[in-house]
């Protein structure tokens, strides 16, 4: 098939992915049969990981390219529906798949800030940026900045921001893949963070954006099936209706009753029990603006054939993202109900030490993490748990209030909590792995392409031939990937926090020059550069100061400035970037009439790609 498809992969998309979906369904059925035959759990889990990474690598090899246009923007031949699916996979990272439902599980209504912020951000993308960036015709976000503002300084500052936000983001994805691999493959976390890099690098190194795009379509299929199946399963078992998105309201009522019986806080009853209104709305704002500023997401809209397709692509992206985000609250609710049910149906609402489920010990024993703690200690052995809990006066069993689950393991452990067979557990692990790998692919490509295309080719060696440019990109890809894996080994924070930092950094450094570069023709080179530096600088000072301290002294701690948490640090930098860009632009000579006319024409709905027309 590879030989017949190599030259016309795009023309055979329906056939390729039809075969893929059928093969994937057959593989899942095979895992069901293996489970029924008593094949060891570890073999089934390894099979899931090996088969899915293998098919991603195979698609990467099939769609490999040595053409610069296809390496950077997939040859601009990606139909809207497929680009929307690839964008969904690129977007729904380990944070969305692994962390979203876990955060809703822990925070209740307050966790919806992440859903609202990330989904609402796509409205900004569709209205303010996506079609105009596609019409502009740049390869990368720094390419847009360098061309729009007429110099390498704006390009270089944009690259610094891109690197900071993308590297933070990719570290979170590799961290997520490490958690999955360490549990499902039974290897140490410090080695597990490297387990997914081979699959990532095969896809992105061989074919760049072309290979990554078609791999991400396959990864989306895996991750959405893996996410929906357990939710549908739990809804069917609990309510008899296989539509969890509509049925989890009944479970919320049961959770409320369970919380009263177990004597724990009722986080699902009302908002602002875990976040203040200020934290809630600041976080939504930062996530929305950050969504519209992430370079690896905006790059996706450079791959469509036309400006019209770019607009349609945003709509498809929202639909494919909606499928998961609309399910996440239901997933969290059913998972919490099943967990609390263990305690409610135990004598005196205490889970007996002899009845501690195997999954608690398996997740608790993962080295280097506090994924499950009971009575204040890692849940590594029943004897240690019993000793710690009896020291607190819990004889015979422990109460629900003594159990702590890390946000990052809720989704992955839910099939075990709900008593599903191992083939479902493996499917969910493969889905989480697909989510982390797909986003890591896009992020690594955004970083490497910016460094190779915008720094090496545009600024250092404009005469470089195609082979040299692609070689530089691939070498940089490997270096950045290894560096991110090494940082992930240090476990900087939980997945969702690291991702939220990346959004604040991107929003503070890039949103103002992108939006004003499209919508205000008077924006000047000096204004854009000053705004980027000011917004990015303020946000980084607060973020680094809060978490690590600046130069000397102890970290400031959360809420050092007006009580704002570090995950919303962009709330300081984003308005500063706009204000500085505006003021400095008015204080400096306006752009040439030619550039102002160019920007005004950029917003016209008709016409083709403008850089190609004026080159």
Q: Nearest CA to 512 among 497, 491, 528?
A: 528
Q: What value does the mean pLDDT take over residues 343-349? A: 92
Q: Which has more confidence, 420 or 132?
A: 420
372 membership: H or E segment, kind and range? strand 372-374
Burial of 397 (0-12, 13-18, 19+ CB in 10 A): buried
The residue behind tokens 């200020």 is: 278
Q: Over pLDDT 90: what percentage of the chain?
A: 36
| Selected residue with higher pLDDT from 423 and 140 | 423
Tell me the average pLDDT across 385-392. 94
Q: What are phi and psi of 403, to 5 degrees?
A: -95, 130
Residues 6+ apart with CB under 8 A from 542: 560, 561, 564, 566, 569, 572, 573
Q: Which residues pair with 451 in a beta bridge?
A: none
Between residues 416 and 3, which one has the greater pLDDT? 416
For residues 277 and 282, give the distance between their C-alpha atoms in angstroms, rounded to a whole number.
8
Tokens linked to 381: 């052995």
In angstroms, the CA 358 to CA 382 distance is: 10
> 203 — phi, psi (to 5°)?
-70, -50
Q: For residues 129 and 134, give the distance between their C-alpha atoms in angstroms, rounded to a whole number.
A: 9
pLDDT of 499 strictly over 50? yes
In the predicted model, is pLDDT for residue 3 greater than 50? no
Q: Which residue has the higher pLDDT, 426 or 76?
A: 426
Q: What pLDDT shows up at residue 270? A: 67
What is the residue-averaged pLDDT of the chain? 84
Decide: 417 and 101 in contact? Cβ < 8 Å: no
Helix (H, G, I), strand (E, B) or coil at 403: strand
Residue 529 confidence class, pLDDT cut points 50, 70, 90:
very high
Banded model confidence at residue 607, pLDDT cuts 50, 70, 90: low
CA distances from 344 to 333, 348, 372, 513 (A): 16, 8, 20, 55
Please state, in angstroms and rounded to a whole number, the distance separating the CA atoms of residues 487 and 116. 29
Put residue 39 in one of left, alpha, beta given phi > 0 → left and psi -120 to 50 → alpha.
Answer: beta
Reply yes or no on whether the pLDDT at 20 is more than 90: no
What's the rounded Cα separation, in Å, for the pair 218 and 437? 11
Phi-psi label, residue 102: left if phi above 0, alpha if psi -120 to 50, beta otherwise: alpha
Strand 351-352, strand 397-398: pairing: antiparallel
Quote the pLDDT of residue 63: 64
For the stretch 305-314, pLDDT in tens is 777 777 788 8
- In eight-state DSSP terms, residue 550 is B
Of the listed ranges 89-103, 342-356, 417-431, 537-551, the one predicted with least confidence: 89-103
Where is mean pLDDT largest: 22-31, 199-208, 408-417? Answer: 22-31
d(CA 422, CA 399): 27
Residue 300 contacts residue 90 (beta carbons within 8 Å): yes
d(CA 342, CA 313): 44
Task: Indicate the helix (H) or strand (E) that contains 179.
Answer: helix 152-184
Residues contacting 264, CB < 8 A, separation 6+? 400, 401
pLDDT classification of 498: cutoffs 50, 70, 90: confident
d(CA 255, CA 248): 10
**pLDDT tens per residue, range 165-216:** 988 888 888 888 887 877 777 777 778 778 766 666 665 565 556 677 778 8
pLDDT band at 551 (very low <50, low <70, confident <90, very high): low
């Amino acid at each position: 098939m590879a030989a017949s498809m190599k030259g016309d992969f795009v023309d055979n998309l329906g056939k390729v992915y039809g075969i893929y979906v059928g093969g994937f369904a057959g593989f899942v059925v095979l895992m069901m049969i293996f489970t029924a035959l008593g094949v060891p759990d570890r073999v089934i889990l390894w099979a899931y990981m090996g088969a899915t990474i293998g098919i991603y690598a195979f698609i990467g090899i099939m769609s490999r390219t040595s053409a610069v246009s296809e390496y950077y923007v997939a040859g601009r031949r990606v139909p809207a529906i497929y680009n929307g699916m690839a964008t969904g996979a690129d977007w729904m990272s380990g944070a969305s798949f692994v962390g979203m439902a876990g955060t809703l599980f822990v925070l209740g209504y307050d966790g919806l800030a992440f859903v609202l912020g990330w989904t609402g951000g796509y409205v900004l993308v569709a209205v303010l940026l996506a079609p105009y960036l596609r019409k502009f015709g740049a390869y990368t976000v720094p390419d847009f900045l360098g061309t729009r503002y007429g110099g390498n300084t704006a390009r270089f500052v944009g690259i610094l921001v891109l690197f900071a936000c993308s590297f933070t983001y990719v570290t979170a994805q590799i961290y997520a893949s490490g958690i999955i691999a360490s549990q499902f493959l039974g290897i140490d976390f410090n080695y597990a963070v490297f387990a997914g890099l081979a699959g990532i690098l095969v896809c992105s190194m061989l074919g760049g954006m072309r290979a990554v795009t078609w791999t991400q379509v396959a990864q989306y299929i895996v991750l959405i099936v893996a996410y929906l199946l357990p939710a549908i399963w739990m809804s069917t078992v609990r309510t008899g209706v296989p539509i969890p998105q509509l049925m989890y309201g009944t479970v919320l009522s049961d959770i409320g009753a369970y919380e009263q019986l177990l004597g724990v806080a009722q986080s699902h009853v009302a908002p602002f029990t875990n976040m203040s209104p200020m934290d809630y709305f600041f976080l939504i704002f930062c996530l929305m603006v950050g969504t519209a500023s992430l370079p690896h997401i905006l790059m996706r809209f450079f791959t469509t054939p036309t400006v019209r397709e770019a607009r349609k692509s945003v709509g498809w992206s929202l639909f494919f993202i909606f499928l998961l985000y609309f399910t996440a609250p239901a997933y969290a609710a059913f998972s919490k109900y099943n967990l609390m049910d263990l305690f409610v149906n135990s004598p005196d609402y205490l889970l007996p030490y002899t009845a501690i489920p195997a999954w608690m010990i398996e997740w608790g024993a993962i080295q280097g993490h506090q994924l499950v703690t009971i009575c204040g200690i890692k849940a590594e052995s029943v004897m240690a748990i019993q000793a710690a809990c009896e020291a607190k006066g819990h004889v015979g069993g422990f109460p629900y209030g003594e159990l702590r689950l890390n946000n990052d393991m809720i989704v992955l452990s839910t099939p075990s909590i709900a008593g599903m067979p191992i083939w479902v557990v493996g499917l969910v692990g493969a889905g989480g792995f697909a989510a982390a790998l797909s986003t890591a692919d896009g992020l690594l490509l955004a970083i490497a392409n910016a460094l190779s295309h915008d720094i090496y080719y545009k600024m250092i060696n404009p005469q470089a031939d195609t082979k040299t440019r692609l070689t530089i990109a691939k070498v940089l890809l490997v270096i950045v990937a290894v560096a991110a894996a090494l940082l992930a080994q240090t476990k900087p924070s939980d997945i969702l926090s690291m991702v939220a930092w990346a959004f604040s950094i991107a929003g503070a450094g890039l949103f103002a020059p992108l939006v004003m570069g499209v919508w205000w023709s008077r924006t000047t080179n000096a204004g854009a550069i000053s705004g980027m530096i000011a917004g990015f600088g303020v946000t980084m000072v607060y973020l680094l100061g809060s978490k690590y301290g600046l130069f000397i002294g102890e970290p400031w701690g959360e809420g050092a400035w007006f009580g704002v948490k570090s995950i919303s640090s962009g709330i300081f930098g984003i308005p500063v970037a706009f204000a500085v860009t505006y003021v400095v632009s008015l204080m400096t000579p306006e752009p040439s009439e030619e550039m102002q006319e160019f920007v005004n024409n950029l917003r016209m709905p008709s016409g083709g790609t403008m850089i190609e027309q004026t080159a």
